[in-house]
Amino acid sequence: MNQAYDPDAAPGTAHGIDGRVVIVTGAGRGIGRGIARHLAKNGATIVVAEHRARRLDDAMAELDGLGVQSLGIECDVGSREAVFAMVEATMSRFGRVDGIVNNAVSLVAAKPIEDVTEQDMDLLQRTGTNGTLWAMQAVFPHMKAQGWGRIVNVGSAAGIRGSAGTAPYNATKEAIRSLTRTAAREWAKHGIVVNCYCPASAGHHEPPPEGNLHREAWEAMYAMHPMDRDGEAEEDIAPPVLFLLSDACRFMTGETLMLDGGGQMRS
Ligand SMILES: NC(=O)c1ccc[n+]([C@@H]2O[C@H](COP(=O)([O-])OP(=O)(O)OC[C@H]3O[C@@H](n4cnc5c(N)ncnc54)[C@H](O)[C@@H]3O)[C@@H](O)[C@H]2O)c1
């Protein structure tokens, strides 16, 4: 077992995250919010990094209601400076950072590839690929010093499949999977494990209108799922994410978990 983590000071089990300090970006709503809630219920100290103030407040009110230690930080993950400041604030408040879930990304309207603009690409690259990279860089020295860390990045089946209408998103999601593998390779020697997951849990979004290109990806996500349903953020996505953040995930790195009710098998 490893390293600087003291099980007496912060009791936990191999399969748990009790006492761990975990950052979840974009946890103001949706999947990130469900993950933050699940981790908090399982004893983690949660840092929510979110760029929308009202969503941040809602999430913090919920975590306060659970009676867990938490910290909310307004942060645009597309800003390297803001991301480093967020991790520094985490360190000054809790003295450690054990895990991070790089969940936040900003989206653009669906459109065919011939209409994709520089702004579309910039936004996805800045908040997706770059945001994930900055967050990994920011936590790295602290995890390295601890000799233990868990980084969890977020890809998408849309990227793997190359769904129509979401080229900038697909490209950034595949870039994130690539960064995951490189970080996993470079940082394994420091006790830092880096993995990725691709969720299917879009029930909190409005379906795109009929005829919209994004509608195809949306319908594909629901069609032919062996489990024939959408995922629930807290019940379906968060438990395997907790595993990726735990001691139990010690011999799997650079991988992508498909958390999609078997949806990937259809393609
Ligand atoms: N919903 C799905 O079925 C699905 C499928 C595949 C992948 N994903 C991925 O899972 C993650 C979460 O998806 P979701 O549907 O819950 O998303 P969502 O859009 O509902 O929530 C994203 C959250 O991140 C915040 N955010 C956006 N840009 C940010 C930024 N620059 N800085 C800080 N916070 C920011 C938003 O305010 C929001 O609270 C995303 O990475 C998404 O690509 C989701």
Q: How far apart are CA 189 and CA 34, in angstroms?
A: 31
Spatial distance between the Cα atoms of 108 and 95, rounded to a whole number of angstroms: 37
Q: What is the pLDDT of residue 227?
A: 86
Cβ proximity of 102 and 132 under 8 Å: yes
Which residue's structure tokens are 């995890």? 143
Q: Whose CA is nearest to atom 7 of ligand 1?
A: 156
Cβ-Cβ contacts under 8 Å for 175 (sequence gap 6 or more):
125, 128, 129
**pLDDT attached to residue 9:** 45
Residue 49 CA: which ligand 1 atom is closest? 33
Q: What is the pLDDT of residue 15?
A: 74
Domains annotated for the chain, with CATH where assigned, are 21-259 (3.40.50.720)
With a cut of 90, say whether residue 206 has pLDDT above it: no
What percentage of the chain's residues is helix, strand, coil (to nearest 5)? 50, 15, 40
Mean pLDDT to the nearest integer, 77-90: 98
Residue 207 one-letter amino acid: P
> Would the CB of 106 count as within 6 Å of ligand 1?
yes
> Mean pLDDT of all residues in the chain?
92
Q: Is the pLDDT of residue 34 over 90?
A: yes
Q: Could you read off the pLDDT of 39-81 as tens digits, one per residue? A: 999 999 999 999 999 999 999 999 999 999 999 999 999 999 9
With a 6 Å cutoff on the Cβ, whether 72 touches ligand 1 is no
Look up 197 and say whether it is catalytic. Answer: no
CA 44 to CA 37: how far, in whole Å?
A: 10
CB burial readout 84-94, b (16+ within 10 A) else e:
bebbeebbeeb
Encoding tokens for residue 47?
């840092």
Report pLDDT for 233: 97
Q: What's residue 2's pLDDT? A: 37
Degrees, nearest 5: CA angle 50-229-252: 60
Q: Whose CA is nearest to atom 37 of ligand 1?
A: 52
pLDDT band at 216 (very low <50, low <70, confident <90, very high): confident
Of 31, 33, 48, the residue with max ligand 1 atoms within 8 A of its CB, to mutate for a pocket test, comes to 31
What percent of the chain is predicted at pLDDT more than 90? 81
Residue 104 Cα: closest atom of ligand 1: 24
End-to-end CA distance of the chain: 39
Q: What is the pLDDT of residue 5?
A: 46
Is the separation of the CB atoms in 20 and 31 below 8 Å? Answer: no
Mean pLDDT within 122-148: 98
- Structure token digits, residue 176: 């994130």
> Residue 266: what pLDDT?
66
Structure pTM?
Answer: 0.94
User: Any residues with CB less than 8 A from the CB of 26 and at least 6 apart, and which?
Assistant: 32, 49, 50, 51, 77, 103, 104, 105
